[in-house]
Chains A and B, each alone.
Chain A
């Protein structure tokens, strides 16, 4: 579990994060969503320690990450796997060597055991056939999957994904989402995804934090999000005319299929009116 307590971060006079508190739960896919410039990337960089927070604390399983010395931070980081927006694969290494790299650096296992682990991870992301290829020779979706394989090779406790679907077609995006969700449940990882892809939100959002102008505007799950009354969140989710119409049609469908009462009850319970 990762807990953020009132974290702030600014660059010069510009405040990017203005006192954000949130809990990222274990075994769940936690999403940080928000429009461009809302502070979600800065927030993720602060959580993983690529940026220092100005004030506030970040707790990894109740250990204060912000107060740790460099050595202790290094130890926490070795439990983190991260998938970067551009995959961040090492150009000069093959797919297999990329996945092998963290093991070579930190594992004391024999070469045979390490190779077996790499094979397992590549098989898990269905990329065993691309093992000998270089990053320049594979597609964007494959690069993301190699990034995932590299992120999970050391059995991390925490998995961070920065825009895992950017630049991918909808089908490949869905495959990546499913893969991340399966891995999260399989290994009971605390997964944090930074995204503004609505498919990801609806598909994998066990826990969602919506960021607006550097603040946490809304928090909930993918089941609640479409019923939210938050104006900014609704503007973000139903950004296009098409989606707004689709939402209205869906609400009409509820009346047609007779499930409106159940939905209404659910909504009232959430609002604390029942």
Chain B
């Protein structure tokens, strides 16, 4: 499928338009859910870390340090991507599946358009570009949510949290998170597009393809999460 995407676009302007449309759908369309889960993810991480750090000799600022690294290394890229696999993956699979069943893909083929190039490539490129952006936003929002939860619950002060955030910060962790998010973005879009594009049957099969796409994406995300952690850390 991926090989078939690469051919000279019939009309570069329409391909670009399609790419921008996908960027809006994936980026802006998923921002709401990313905003909500990131805030709560950060808040819960702060409270649970504080609950587990019972020793009086460990400074409270350590909570912020743990929250920062947990969110950057794991929660922002992996948890966000798993949620996005559900949101974006099912959308891509059902959209392409519906186009296949209603013969819209055949109609494009008959016109002489490379449907893999026109329909799938912009989705993969947009997901590979926008999911890292969403992951970066999720990271910021998660840390901010953690700070707000810590201050509101009285676990630590705002100054203690900011001090902890700056302690032993490694920029490489951000690179690691971005590497994961690019990989996960590609997995989500390509797996979902594969299942959607190859649907055969009717409405029931579109639902099945959508579910399979999400399940396979999630499993692959978790597998790659482990593989990348083992290789890069």
Chain A interfacial positions (CB closer than 8 Å to B) = 48-50, 70, 74-75, 77-78, 80-82, 84-86, 88-91, 102, 104-106, 160
CA distance A210 to B98 in the complex (A): 32
Least Cβ–Cβ distance between B26 and chain A, in angstroms: 16
Main secondary structure of the interface of A (DSSP, over half): mixed
Per the bound structure, the CA–CA distance linking A102 and B112 in Å amounts to: 10
Q: Which 4 A-B pairs have the closest CB atoms?
A: A77-B112, A88-B103, A88-B107, A78-B112
Cα–Cα, bound, A77→B110 (Å): 6
Excluding A80-B110, A105-B10, 19 further A-B contacts by CB distance (< 8 Å) are A48-B110, A49-B109, A77-B110, A80-B112, A84-B103, A84-B106, A85-B103, A86-B102, A88-B106, A89-B104, A90-B104, A91-B102, A91-B104, A104-B14, A105-B113, A106-B10, A106-B11, A106-B111, A160-B110
B27-59 vs A, CB cutoff 8 Å, 1 = contact: the mask equals 000000000000000000000000000000000
Q: Which of A50, A86, A105, A160 contacts B111 (CB 8 A)?
A: A105
Taking residues whose C-beta sits less than 8 angstroms from the other chain, chain B's interface range is 10 to 19
A262 to B40, CA, bound (A): 89
- Are A50 and B109 touching (Cβ within 8 A)? yes
CA distance A104 to B10 in the complex (A): 10
Write out the residue numbers on chain B whose beta carbons fall within 8 Å of the beta carbon of A89.
Answer: 104
18 contacts between A and B (CB under 8 A): A50-B109, A74-B112, A77-B109, A77-B110, A77-B111, A80-B110, A81-B110, A82-B107, A84-B103, A85-B103, A88-B103, A88-B106, A88-B107, A89-B104, A104-B14, A105-B11, A106-B10, A106-B11
Residues of B within 8 A of A82 (CB): 107, 110
Please measure, in the bound complex, the distance between the C-alpha atom of A75 and the C-alpha atom of B107, giving whole angstroms: 15
- Within the complex, the shortest CB–CB distance from B99 to chain A, in Å, comes to 8
Distance in angstroms between the alpha carbons of A74 and B110 in the assembled complex: 8
Report A-chain residues with C-beta under 8 Å of the C-beta of B14.
104-105
Q: Which residues of the partner chain B approach A84 to less than 8 Å between Cβ atoms?
A: 103, 106-107
B94 → A minimal CB distance (Å): 12
Assuming the contacts A105-B10, A105-B11, asked whether A86 and B103 have C-beta atoms less than 8 A apart, the reply is yes
Q: Which among B14, B111, B113 has the highest number of chain A CB atoms within 10 Å?
A: B111
| A75 & B112 in contact (Cβ 8 Å cutoff) | yes
Complex interface residues of chain B between 7 and 27 (CB less than 8 A to chain A)? 7, 10-11, 14
Within B104-123, which residues are at the interface with A (CB < 8 Å)? 104, 106-107, 109-113
Distance between B205 CB and nearest chain A CB, rounded to angstroms:
16
Q: From residue A65, how far is it (CB to closest CB) to chain B in Å?
A: 13
